[in-house]
Amino acid sequence: MKPQDLQYTLDWIAIRELVAEYGQAIDFGKDTGDWSRWVNVFTPQVTADYSRLFGDEPVTMAREQMAQVGGNALAPFSRVQHATANTVRTHFKNDTEAQVMAYADVGHFFSVGGVIQEWTVVIRYTHDLEKTTEGWRIRRVMLDPIHFRGNPLGLDMVKGKRLV
């Protein structure tokens, strides 16, 4: 694919929109309980690699299952905010495959004894993308936590521990 091609430009824009939607759709799912926007960013089969955060192996699943993954991980938080930076780099492997890296500051908000707490994780996402009949979609997502700040209980909570 040549950088000066119109199709390159159209694909580049669509990919940037997809990466932004990934973060915005998570927040929308948490706020409304409607995870359909987030599910729609993935290919029908998606590999979720959150091993660097959770310590488990990457899992391949139907994209509809991602709603449960997101819902469960964010259940203990009153709000979340995925402040996704512009895509750092898009590498087109061919006309239908690309890899994208993007950074995000993800704030997680929760209450302890009636006092609002914040735990933020700075993340580098690596998305392996596929151009489908639906457009560009994420085939594999890898979350690489770079830094944590705020109340460290947030990390325990995202891993499934709950406050009593």
CATH number for the domain spanning 108: value is 3.10.450.50
Examine residue 127 and state whether it is found in any structural domain, yes or no.
yes
The token duo for 75 is 């259940």
Q: Which pLDDT value is given to residue 158?
A: 86
The CA distance from 147 to 144, in Å, is 9
Examine residue 69 and state whether it is found in any structural domain, yes or no.
yes
Examine residue 164 and state whether it is found in any structural domain, yes or no.
no
Count Cα atoms within 13 angstroms, Cβ side, for 68: 5
The CA distance from 156 to 161, in Å, is 5
Examine residue 32 and state whether it is found in any structural domain, yes or no.
yes
Examine residue 89 and state whether it is found in any structural domain, yes or no.
yes
Contact 65, 72 (CB under 8 A): no
The domain tally of the chain equals 1
pLDDT (tens, 9 = 90+) of the chain, 164 residues, equals 555 689 999 999 999 999 999 999 999 999 999 999 999 999 999 999 999 998 899 999 999 999 999 999 999 999 999 998 766 789 999 999 999 999 999 999 999 999 999 999 999 999 999 999 999 999 999 999 999 999 999 988 888 887 76
Contact 99, 126 (CB under 8 A): yes
Examine residue 51 and state whether it is found in any structural domain, yes or no.
yes
Domain that holds residue 146: 6-158
**What CA–CA distances, in Å, run from 20 to 86, 115, 135, 157?**
8, 31, 15, 25
Examine residue 163 and state whether it is found in any structural domain, yes or no.
no
10 Å CB burial of residue 66 (0-12, 13-18, 19+) is buried
Examine residue 50 and state whether it is found in any structural domain, yes or no.
yes
